Amino acid sequence: MPDDKFSYYQFQKELGYEVYLRFEDSEFENCFTEILDLIGFDKVERDEVQSKAFDQKHTKVLRVISATPRVTKQINQPDYMFDKYGAESISQMGVYDVYRYKDVGMMVHGSGNFLWELGIKSTRDKEALRTILTRYLSFALASKGVVGFWGVPVEEGFIVMNPMKSNYESVFIDLNKKVLMTCDGVKDLDSDFEILRLESGFYKEPRRMKREELLSFLSMNTSYLSYTGFEQHMKSTIHDLVELAVGYIYPESRYKPRQVADDS
């Protein structure tokens, strides 16, 4: 396919991350534009991307295409080992990792390769698409020590939640750049920020978490999915987060989710 058919999007362009999406079909691309804006991808000129000297280790380009019949069969097939845990699974294929979201898409990626591939069977489930692209960011940014969590920003810092309770929003923290990235944009990370954990059976005043408790909570709730554990850069970032932040258990009954705008 000629290069002039490619469209590129870059994650948080102003921060200089070399993390891209590549589309080769404009009609297919249009199914993603709203999600890309929410997650923090900006459209960039093809020549701007192709003129760069990519770092094979840190540059990641995800080729997003409509799944072929062969890939569709793999997306649909049952996985008796992982299906009981939910729609997502991850496995190995030679030197590559294979991430699958059942009935929606499959991504083949490897830390030593800059070009990854995502085959999408259906674009109807927007929450699934947002989940898949959040996983891509988590995989692609791991080598830079950038760590992501399902959650939402608040004035004090951010709340770590599960995907459904966060409405599939995520927060990414880069301690080197001292920024917090959310669907609201990029925010400077204060030196005294807080990390909140909501608890349904907790009705008292917010309780400060011990550092060991916060470390365990954060390690169990990242948006990074792996059967081999975290990369060393991520481990270091999570430990540094625990040293910098203050964690609180907060009564879920007192948390008021922000209203989703009504477009009607």
The type of residue at 153 is P
Any idea what DSSP says for residue 222? B
How many residues does this entry show for the chain?
A: 264
Helix (H) or strand (E) holding 73: helix 69-76
Residue 1 scores a pLDDT above 50 = no
* Residue 222 · residue 234 · CB < 8 Å: yes
Total number of domains constituting the chain: 2
Whether residues 84 and 173 fall in one domain: no
Any idea what DSSP says for residue 209? P
Mean pLDDT of 193-222: 90
Whether residues 171 and 126 fall in one domain: no
* Residue reference for tokens 């049952």: 78
Whether residues 8 and 119 fall in one domain: yes
Structural domain contains residue 261: no
Structural domain contains residue 158: yes
Structural domain contains residue 17: yes
SS3 82: coil
Any idea what DSSP says for residue 182? E
| Residue 139: predicted pLDDT | 93
* Residue reference for tokens 């097939």: 77
The pLDDT-based confidence of 84 (bands split at 50, 70, 90) is: low
Whether residues 124 and 174 fall in one domain: no
Mean pLDDT of 45-73: 86
CA atoms within a 13 Å half-sphere pointing along the CA-CB vector of 137: 30
3-state helix, strand, coil in the chain (%, to 5): 30, 30, 40
Residue 82 scores a pLDDT above 80 = no
| Residue 191: predicted pLDDT | 79
Whether residues 109 and 188 fall in one domain: no
Structural domain contains residue 226: yes
Whether residues 137 and 155 fall in one domain: no
> 8-22, 58-72, 242-256: which has the minimum mean pLDDT?
242-256
| Residue 261: predicted pLDDT | 44
Question: CA–CA separation, 215 vs 251, rounded Å?
Answer: 20
pLDDT digits (tens, 9 = 90+) for 139-187: 999 988 899 999 999 988 999 999 988 999 999 999 999 999 999 999 9
Structural domain contains residue 126: yes
Question: CA–CA separation, 239 vs 47, rounded Å?
Answer: 39
pLDDT digits (tens, 9 = 90+) for 93-118: 878 889 999 999 999 988 778 899 99
Mean pLDDT of 245-264: 71
User: Which stretches of the chain are assigned E, i.e. beta strand?
Assistant: 7-11, 19-23, 41-44, 60-66, 88-93, 96-101, 105-109, 115-120, 147-154, 157-160, 170-174, 179-182, 185-188, 194-199, 207-208, 246-251
Whether residues 181 and 131 fall in one domain: no
Whether residues 131 and 184 fall in one domain: no
Mean pLDDT of 114-143: 95
Other Cβ atoms closer than 10 A to 121: 21
Structural domain contains residue 262: no
107: nearest Cα among 67, 69, 76, 80: 67
Q: State what percent of residues in the chain have pLDDT above 70.
A: 92
Whether residues 21 and 119 fall in one domain: yes
Out of 143, 163, 182, pick the residue that ends a domain. 143
143: nearest Cα among 245, 235, 228: 235
Structural domain contains residue 260: no
Whether residues 93 and 156 fall in one domain: no
110: nearest Cα among 97, 119, 100, 99: 97
Structure-model confidence comparison of residues 41 and 83, the more confident one: 41
SS3 263: coil
Whether residues 73 and 167 fall in one domain: no
Whether residues 124 and 151 fall in one domain: no
| Residue 264: predicted pLDDT | 38
| Residue 81: predicted pLDDT | 53
Structural domain contains residue 63: yes
In terms of residue numbers, what domain contains 241? Answer: 146-254
Question: CA–CA separation, 35 vs 133, rounded Å?
Answer: 9
Residue 5 scores a pLDDT above 90 = no
The pLDDT-based confidence of 242 (bands split at 50, 70, 90) is: very high
